[in-house]
């Protein structure tokens, strides 16, 4: 697999965002509530092979069914993806009112519960990440990077303000999550949970760069519980993080559990969102 072929395949329909420069449309410090609101009877589960390019510094969320899988692809290399997930439906859901429930009190991915099961080590292929109710949520089935993080929070607006940016001048993963989960009822930064940082190489007592993924690298998860998963193409570009230049990533959803073909082959069978 070559990088030029990978770029051509994944970007057959060029997105309007340049993936090699800082995003010119930063998010506000507190992401606005989405005008779209998903109801219980029409949760848009991605059950067929579907692809979505997440523009540099932005986020995306999708409802996924147990028994399917999804793949995360680092198109250009050195790009961290924050991932968060909430089980569906949420507490307070009602068939009578068609209410999806309250995401603020929903069962969600928990780094601390997962680290308990892994004895503090990163997960490896065949292992799962867990919820705050100690249930396996997503299982890692393929991984050609083998380096991820569960110790860092999502970057947030005040972090950038502490580095001299004005409020709203720089996008953040936390704000991206509020935007992405907005249709599912998320309204405020206080509802954002600690993420699974895909492709992030956090040095532990050794000097390593904070990123390890190369162009075209990917990992794949099996969905064990119906849930909504959100991803943020991390906007943090300070100190050489994310290669100092935030780039697009891709998520392929609704895949078969035994899907192990190359990115080019799988992408060709997917429809765009």
Q: What is the mean pLDDT of residues 108-114?
A: 98
Q: Is the pLDDT of residue 6 over 90?
A: no
Which residues does 142 contact at the CB level (< 8 Å), separation at least 6?
71, 125, 218, 219, 220, 260
91 DSSP β-pair partners: none
Establish how many alpha carbons lie within 13 A of residue 5's alpha carbon, considering only the half-sphere containing its beta carbon: 8
Cβ atoms of 89 and 101 closer than 8 Å = yes
Q: What is the pTM of this model?
A: 0.87
Q: Kindly report the average pLDDT of the chain as a whole number.
A: 87
Cβ atoms of 136 and 219 closer than 8 Å = no
Q: Is the pLDDT of residue 31 over 50?
A: no
Q: What is the mean pLDDT of residues 31-58?
A: 87
Q: Give per-residue pLDDT as tens, 191-203.
A: 999 999 999 987 6
Q: What is the Cα 21 distance to its own chain's centre?
A: 20
Nearest 10 degrees: Cα torsion 50, 71, 127, 217: 170
Q: Is the pLDDT of residue 138 over 80?
A: yes
Cβ atoms of 67 and 138 closer than 8 Å = no
Q: Is the pLDDT of residue 22 over 50?
A: no
25 band by pLDDT with thresholds 50, 70 and 90: very low
pLDDT of 208 reads 53
pLDDT of 221 reads 98
The alpha carbon dihedral of 93, 96, 99, 100 has a sign of positive
């Amino acid at each position: 697999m070559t990088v030029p072929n990978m770029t051509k395949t994944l970007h057959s329909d060029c997105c309007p965002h340049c993936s090699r420069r800082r995003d010119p449309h930063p998010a506000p410090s507190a992401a606005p509530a989405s005008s779209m609101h998903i109801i219980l009877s029409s949760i848009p589960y991605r059950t067929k092979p579907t692809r979505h390019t997440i523009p540099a510094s932005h986020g995306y969320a999708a409802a996924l069914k147990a028994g399917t899988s999804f793949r995360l692809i680092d198109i250009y290399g050195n790009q961290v993806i924050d991932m968060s997930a909430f089980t569906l439906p949420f507490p307070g859901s009602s068939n009578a009112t068609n209410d999806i429930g309250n995401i603020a009190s929903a069962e969600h991915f928990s780094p601390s519960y997962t680290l308990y099961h892994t004895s503090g080590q990163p997960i490896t292929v065949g292992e799962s990440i867990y919820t705050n109710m100690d249930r396996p949520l997503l299982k890692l089935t393929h991984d050609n990077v083998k380096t991820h993080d569960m110790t860092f929070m999502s970057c947030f607006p005040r972090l950038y303000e502490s580095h001299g940016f004005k409020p709203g001048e720089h996008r953040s993963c936390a704000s991206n999550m509020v935007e992405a989960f907005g249709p599912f009822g998320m309204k405020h930064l206080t509802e954002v949970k600690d993420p699974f940082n895909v492709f992030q190489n956090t040095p532990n007592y050794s000097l390593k760069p904070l990123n390890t993924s190369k162009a075209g690298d990917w990992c794949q998860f099996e969905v064990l519980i119906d849930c909504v998963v959100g991803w943020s193409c991390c906007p943090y570009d300070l100190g050489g993080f994310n290669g100092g230049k935030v780039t697009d990533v891709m998520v392929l959803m609704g895949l078969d559990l035994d899907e192990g073909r190359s990115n080019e082959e799988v992408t060709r069978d997917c429809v765009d969102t």
